[in-house]
Amino acid sequence: MKLRIHPLIARFAAPLVALGLALSPLAAQASGESIHLDRFPTEKLNNEAALQNGAKLFVNYCLNCHSASLMRYNRLQDIGLTDAQIRDNLLFTGTKVGDTMKTAMSATDAKAWFGALPPDLSVTARSRASGDGSGADWLYTYLRSFYRDSSRATGWNNSIFPNVGMPHVLWELQGTRGATIEETKADKGDGTGHGFAKTVISLGADGVRTEKTEKLQGGHPHEGTEISLTPAVGGKLSQADYDGQISDLVAYMTYMSDPSAKTRQRLGTWVLLFLTLFTALAWWLNKEYWKDVK
């Protein structure tokens, strides 16, 4: 039996199939990529002192280049700050408490210095969520994974965001780190077309780069890259203290990405209680109305 397809379906089916085939390798690639993320300490989200410190770090270190155009300064009242505290401690460019968090750097200067306008950070803590972890996990790992790399224009690189254009603005607090990068690739020049070669790149805390390549014999190697970071040296803070500061900053950025989250959760509890009571009342009324009906 032959299957007949309506002409209109046939007309549009071919382009859709072609688009699906074109996107399928991209989908497979995206689903196959995975990175290890450290877990952000979520208890920081309920700590007003941590959120306030995170707001201070954000204004001092992030707002110089990035904007948070969806966030107003006066929303910081939600984390326990008064207008006077916001004005005295967090406003430095003549902005008002009711203004949005915009960088003082012009778009022209940003493109000249970095090659592109730094992204707005308003909802980064939400947009970076993936199957590997939450957006907060990604930020917490990213801000602790910079290492020196003299081959980069900024002098810095990042283990979970290779070739990132952003320098490590918090390096004075953390210090500098080196890295060992192991890259395993197919070696088509081995004569068999099935060989592999491993390149080990060593980067010191000063960014000096050394590189060594060797052919792999035996085993079952596969293509991939592994990066291990050395302990930070020369920072103002210990690694534990630096991690604490970063968790405060990420807690604030998570709050900033959804300032009304706590209000919704609080209202949601009351709504669920009301619905439970209403359901019980409706069941009782239904029982009373129908008890004499046979």
Report mean pLDDT in 10-residue bins for the chain, 294 residues: 44 40 37 77 96 96 92 94 93 86 85 84 94 96 96 93 93 96 80 77 92 83 89 96 98 94 85 94 90 74
pLDDT for res 190: 55
CB 154 within 8 A of CB 166: yes
Residue 222 lies in a domain: no
| pLDDT at res. 92 | 79
Closest Cα partner for 259 from 116, 81, 107? 81
DSSP 12: H
d(CA 110, CA 136): 26
What burial letters (b/e) apply to 193-209, b meaning 16+ CB within 10 Å? Answer: eeebbeeebebbbebee
Does the residue 141 lie in any domain? yes
Amino acid letter at 277? L
DSSP 237: S
Residue 17's pLDDT is: 36
Measured between its terminal Cα atoms, the distance across the chain in Å is 57
* Residue 123: inside a domain: yes
DSSP-derived pairing of the beta strands 233-234 and 195-203: unpaired
The CATH number of whichever domain residue 97 belongs to comes to 1.10.760.10
117, part of any domain: yes
* Residue range 78-105, pLDDT digits in tens: 999 999 999 999 997 778 999 999 987 8
Q: What are the tens digits of pLDDT across the range 145-185?
A: 999 999 998 999 999 999 998 999 999 999 999 999 999 98
Number of domains in the chain: 1
Residue 57 lies in a domain: yes
- Its domain, for residue 120, covers 37-147+238-277
Whether 15 maps to a domain, the answer reads: no
- Of 264, 261, 262, 247, nearest in space to 136 by CA: 247
pLDDT at residue 194, rounded to an integer: 66
Dihedral pair phi/psi, residue 79, rounded to 5°: -105, 20
The pLDDT value recorded for residue 22 is 39
Q: What is the pLDDT of residue 12?
A: 41
Q: What is the pLDDT of residue 290?
A: 87
Residue 197 lies in a domain: no
pLDDT for residue 112: 81
Please indicate, yes or no, if residue 41 is contained in any of the structural domains: yes
